Amino acid sequence: MATKKWIQAGVLLLTAASLSACGASNDGKTKEPEAGKAAEAPKEPVTLTFYDPSAKQDPAIFMEQYGDFIQKKYPHITVKYISSPDTNPEGHIANMLAAGEPIDIMLNADINHYRLIAPFKFEYDLTGLAKSRGFDLSKLEPGTLKAVQALSNNNGLYAIPYKMQAMGLLYNKDLFDKFGRPYPKDGMTWDEVYEVAKTMTRSDSGVQYRGFITQFYNTAWLNQLSLGFVDPKTEKSVLNSDERWARLVKNLTRFYEIPGNETKEGSFGTISNLFLKDRVAAMYAYFIPTTPQEVNWDVVTYPEFSDRRGVGPQQLLTLAYVTSTSKHKEAAFDAVAYLASDEVQTNMSRKALAFPVTTSQAAKDAFGQDTPFLQGKNVRALLKSKPADPFPSSPYQRTAALPLEKTMYELTKGAMDVNTALRKMAEDGDKDIEKAKAAAAASK
């Protein structure tokens, strides 16, 4: 997935006024409560534990970006932040729960719902709290709400989205200038990008230039056809039975069949170096950088299928879950709802920490305004397309998806054909699903 160079977890929250019901008048005297209105009782102090499954995160950074501002908004709340000490958050969470240590709020990518939320029965439907606490769900981008509701069998609300990543088509301006070719533009189809890739793939002065690259796992997981990896009813892989997967795979592999654009790296995981460091890739379908880069890049909308114009990839969300085990659900909900407020989302957007999850046009227009290295770049293109609908939820979607990266790498090297690759990925996925079921049964 994305490294530290790409859109990362981070929101700078705005301060808010004190919650005290009584204020001081200009003469310094304490105001009496208005007639017929009782003074609001001070809220009981509460400590909320936020858990981040990312390994060894700096608590000071979390407090600067999140905790301090939540505490200013809600003075009765004390924020406690814990991150996983290693790359095994499942084990750490299990140990915490066994020791009776509370987790009030889980910060988790939507793709890890069945890895870190469902196994611990953290799901808690927030629909009632949203209503009683006055949180307007219609202010969330429809696509983000759909993605959250897709995690439940009955459109429940297990979390509040507060960060969104969106992919675009990055391009190296210097390479297009070098070879006298026009820059890519918004609204291009995959076929049009393919033609550009052919013209930009060439050898010059002993250097092999690549016309187009991408990391297949992200492209597949966030695919524009809303394809899942497993049938939720049969719990079997659909990679070899749904013909749309063949279309998706063939669309991508043709780029690596262009002479000179073949896969030569050890894995897709290092392919970003071709664009960022080596600067030999003309186009890269991925997330935008969040730090200054030596490559002279810009971005346009993600390529579209000709029969699905205006539809971009699915969104990659980070969610804030109020856990079923929390003893402070109302306070926890207030904290996570504040992360999705227009004021927080606008401030976050200005700093390009993530894209807004709300419908606020002001928040969208503010993206990158306080980020010098993004000035003059077409970053708003990433919000022009309508996100594809999320695929159906299943505990085994991620399990069935894991074989893709390795097999697709072999496919793009020319080691097998598309039909063989799809069959192998489906077979491997089904085997992994059965292993997961057996492991789950053994642990009961």
**380-396 pLDDT tens trace:** 999 999 999 999 889 99
- At residue 218, the pLDDT reads 87
CATH topology match: 46-164+316-377 vs 168-314+394-443: yes
- Is the model's pLDDT at 11 over the cut of 70? no
- For the stretch 120-135, what's the b/e string if a residue is b when 16 or more beta carbons lie within 10 angstroms of its beta carbon? bebbbebbebbeeeeb
Confidence of residue 430 (pLDDT cuts 50, 70, 90): very high
Task: Provide the terminal-to-terminal Cα distance of the chain, rounded to the nearest Å.
Answer: 31
Report angle CA 174, 180, 184 to the nearest 5 degrees.
70
- At residue 33, the pLDDT reads 46
Confidence of residue 39 (pLDDT cuts 50, 70, 90): low
- Is the model's pLDDT at 6 over the cut of 80? no
Is residue 215 within 8 A of residue 269, CB to CB? The reply is yes
Q: Which carries the bigger pLDDT value, residue 302 or residue 68?
A: 302
- The model's pLDDT over 360-374, given as tens digits with 9 standing for 90+, comes to 999 999 999 999 999
User: Is the entire prediction scored with pTM above 0.75?
Assistant: yes
Determine the length of the chain: 444
- At residue 268, the pLDDT reads 64
In whole angstroms, give the CA distance from residue 160 to residue 108. Answer: 11
Average pLDDT (11-21) is 32
- At residue 14, the pLDDT reads 29
Share of the chain above pLDDT 70, in %: 90
- Is the model's pLDDT at 173 over the cut of 70? yes
Instruction: Name the CA radius of gyration of the chain, rounded.
Output: 24
Fill in the DSSP letter of residue 396.
T
Domain ranges of the chain: 46-164+316-377, 168-314+394-443
Superfamily of domain 168-314+394-443: Periplasmic binding protein-like II (3.40.190.10)
In whole angstroms, give the CA distance from residue 175 to residue 193. Answer: 15
Average pLDDT (204-231) is 94
Is residue 377 within 8 A of residue 300, CB to CB? The reply is no
Is residue 215 within 8 A of residue 286, CB to CB? The reply is yes
Confidence of residue 164 (pLDDT cuts 50, 70, 90): very high
- At residue 163, the pLDDT reads 93
Nearest to 242 by CA among 390, 414, 425, 111: 425
- Is the model's pLDDT at 193 over the cut of 60? yes
Q: Is 442 exposed, middle or buried (0-12, 13-18, 19+ CB in 10 A)?
A: exposed
Paired tokens of 241: 């039975």
- At residue 40, the pLDDT reads 64
- At residue 3, the pLDDT reads 40
- Is the model's pLDDT at 260 over the cut of 50? yes
Share of the chain above pLDDT 90, in %: 76
The DSSP bridge pattern shows strands 168-172 and 297-300 to be antiparallel
Amino acid at 300: V
- Is the model's pLDDT at 18 over the cut of 80? no
- The model's pLDDT over 141-153, given as tens digits with 9 standing for 90+, comes to 999 999 999 999 8
CA torsion sign, 419 to 422 to 428 to 433? negative
The residues facing 319 across adjacent strands are 108, 161
- At residue 443, the pLDDT reads 77
- The model's pLDDT over 103-138, given as tens digits with 9 standing for 90+, comes to 999 999 998 999 999 999 999 999 999 999 999 999
- At residue 17, the pLDDT reads 32
Which of 139-148, 219-228, 410-419 shows the lowest per-residue confidence on average (mean pLDDT)?
410-419
- Is the model's pLDDT at 435 over the cut of 50? yes
In whole angstroms, give the CA distance from residue 369 to residue 279. Answer: 26
Nearest to 207 by CA among 227, 183, 179: 179
Amino acid at 390: P
Average pLDDT (19-46) is 53
Average pLDDT value for the chain: 89
- The model's pLDDT over 78-107, given as tens digits with 9 standing for 90+, comes to 999 999 999 999 999 999 999 999 999 999
Residue with tokens 């609204």: 187
Domain 46-164+316-377 has CATH 3.40.50.720: no
Average pLDDT (340-350) is 90
